[in-house]
Chains A and B, each alone.
Chain A
Amino acid sequence: MVLERAFSKRLNKKELYGFLFFFPALIIIVVLVGFPVLFGIWMSFFEKGALSTLMRFVGFKNYSTILQNPSFWNAFKNTIVFTGVSLLFQIVLGMAVAFLLNQNFPGRTIARGIVLIPYLVPTIAATLIWKWIFNTLYGILNYALMYLKIIDNEISWLGTQPYAMISIIFVNVWKFFPFVTICVLAGLQMIPVQLYEAAKVDGASVWRRFLHITLPHLKLILAVVIILRFIWTFNNFDLIFLLTEGGPLNSTTTVPILAYETAFRSLMMGRASAIADLMFLFLILIFIFYRRFIKYEVS
């Protein structure tokens, strides 16, 4: 609306200042985000060797090659599994911890700080630590499980299926559930306490209070958290690459990893751009459907 009025020259001074403050950020977004996206879409219609500046127009050939390649569908399947399962556990664990941190108990402030630690640790540091924890011969996880006689022999957590997928999902949940916790906790603190008191007086159980008071108040927050975590998890590259590099046997190769390998190992930039663009298209479609679903739910 501000933009429309800016272009129709009906802005007042305050709105003009607001627009001027916003304009540099818009330029940065256009240059640093918009241009690479558009360039990537354009490059996907060309054959381009990574070490060459020559480009040959091939139309939709890159797209048809990718969509007929079993490796792409394997990567897509892995991405859906990784995203879906990670998201489920992030939401459930994040909400559970948020409910806990919303209670009054001694040390609550410290607990709230500690819960944030996984989210604050840089991904590279976190993955190096977890790589050592999961190490088959020297890792503390195998040592503890064998000491407690839960397992008899070491498990190769990152080197065998299905443990590799389980491990990367675990680390992803550990790293990002605090984001869900913080968002949900903020939402919980906005719910008037009187609603719970009134419901208790009326004899509503814990479950009914959750269903009819808590959940409706958290709907919008959860809607935003879910879509953001979905997009960020679907796009996740660094955590998986650092832990397993897509192995063993491509069982943890996701679409972002495939795009990277196509660009920097197969040295095919056009095809890599096409993979990235297919990801982009998929996420846009998901967002459109999701937005319609949320609008319907809210109304």
Chain B
Amino acid sequence: MENGTKRITWFISLILILGTIIFSSENSVAQVKTIRFLADQTAPAQKKAIEGAARSFEETYPGMKVEIEYTTWDAVYPKLIAGVAAGVLPDGGMLMDMIAASLPFEGLLLPVDDIIQELGGPDAFTEGSLRIAKYKDRYYTVPEGKHAQVLWYRKDLFQKYGVKVPSTWEELFEAAQKLTLDTDGDGKTDVWGIGIPCGRNGFTNRVYQGLMWSNGGRISDRNFKVILDSPQNMEALDYYKKLFKLSPPGSSEWGYTETMDAFVLGKVAMAPYYGRVIGNIHDRNPKIEPFIAVTPWPKRKEQHSHVSLRGLGVFKSTKNEKEIKEFIKFFYTSGFHTKYLLATPGHAAPVLKKEVNSWWEDPLLQQHKEAVEILIERSRYGGFTSAEPGNPVNPAGARIEGERVMEDLIQKAVIGNMSSGEALKWGAEKIRKISEEVGLKQ
């Protein structure tokens, strides 16, 4: 070919390729508007409900496309950080409790008062659901679900060995001791009395916090002054150490999954966990399903446990505010939110009053009615690091959780060489520093 012809051929080919790319793009501005939604719940059944909502929304609103961006819940912060730096945050998303509580302080969320009103106003929500949704008189998240931590136990073992269902710390310890069993007579323990996590993760903190709050202790007072190194917290930590000795070997690595698995697989007679146990036992170990039951964490001076309050939020940087709010509203009004809650039956209590009856229709919830009623009842009490029982939302909460101060101090006391007092003093100093950096006077 002549040079000139060659050049023309290359030029035309380039134009054709570029034209094909531009005009065959699904995101051609004239045709489809895309909204990006962050989801941190990735269990298959939950993903199915979220995807179902997205596809149904697209059918209801032609010209709209919903892109669900999945991430694990502990990767949400890195994703948000990268998004903020690059200016590419999603339009909205699901936010776990500490993130839902902290993002309004960071100024990253848009108010969602309009969605709350369209869903029926604050009175349309169940008790306690809106606790962290409000910041400076505006709502910034729409509650997604409430998860209460309770004590799961094996009725059959309690009955067989004549052990009383614990309602005090002393009874709990005694029950755990009596139910550490060698069931096959080989001289080795096969069932441990209780599964207590001590891994460097949020669950360790959340189990300890239930004991700490029930003993009247707190991380901070109502003015955010750190009071972690109190005698009540020391007593609670000493008790945690005592209980840990009755937990299976390896529980110094345990987090959510390992603790739940130990109960589901019958390795422990009791374990603290949330409602997700119901679906897991049903699917993975149905032979012990008739024998599982729930009781609240024992009462001491108060009676609290960890309660997670998740929410849906709209990021301030969105250019599709109307559309993402429409999708969030659709998620609730279309019935997909109930489907999403029932993807993990019993794990998350409904937040909208009008969902409660349809939620209860699930056969698995009916089968475990007593347990689910306790889970719902307990979701009205307790809190989490950013929202301790009786306290306003703590702006330092996300940093305290993010830096793993509580789990580090628990590990120092339980598997390290520190006394409970020294560990709490260490933790208190760290949290005071964090609080001052966030602007809270100590």
Contact = CB atoms under 8 A, between A and B. Distances in A.
Interface of A: 49-53, 135-137, 153-156, 158-160, 245-250, 261, 263-267, 269
Contact of B250 (A135, A246, A261): A135
A136 B253 contact: yes
B399 A267 contact: yes
Interface of B: 77-78, 80-81, 84-85, 103, 106, 108, 198-201, 248-253, 262, 267, 398-399, 402-404, 408, 411-412, 415-416
B77 A158 contact: no
Contacts of A49: 106
Nearest to B106: A51
Contacts of B404: 261, 265
B262 A137 contact: yes
A136 B195 CA distance: 14
Given A137-B249, A247-B411, A248-B252, A53 B84 contact: yes
A51 B253 contact: no
B416 A266 contact: no
Given A52-B84, A137-B262, A249-B411, A264 B77 contact: yes
A153, A246, A250 pick with most chain B CB within 10 angstroms: A250
Contacts, number: 81
Contacts of B249: 136-137, 153-156
B416 A158 contact: no
B399 A52 contact: no
Nearest to B87: A53
B200 to A, nearest CB: 4
B84 A50 contact: yes
B248 A265 contact: no
24 contacts: A49-B106, A51-B103, A52-B84, A53-B85, A137-B248, A153-B249, A154-B250, A156-B249, A156-B250, A159-B252, A245-B201, A247-B411, A248-B253, A248-B415, A261-B403, A261-B404, A264-B77, A264-B402, A265-B77, A265-B402, A265-B403, A267-B399, A267-B402, A269-B81
A247 B199 contact: yes
Given A248-B253, A263-B78, A264-B77, 11 more contacts: A49-B106, A50-B81, A51-B103, A158-B253, A249-B415, A249-B416, A265-B77, A265-B403, A266-B403, A267-B81, A269-B81
A249 B403 contact: no
A51 B402 contact: no
B253 A159 contact: yes
Contacts of A265: 77, 402-404
Contacts of A249: 408, 411-412, 415-416
Contacts of B251: 159
A52, A154, A264 pick with most chain B CB within 10 angstroms: A264
Given A50-B84, A267-B402, A245 B78 contact: no
A155 B252 CA distance: 11
Contacts of B200: 245-248
A263 B248 CA distance: 34
Contact of B81 (A135, A136, A263): A263
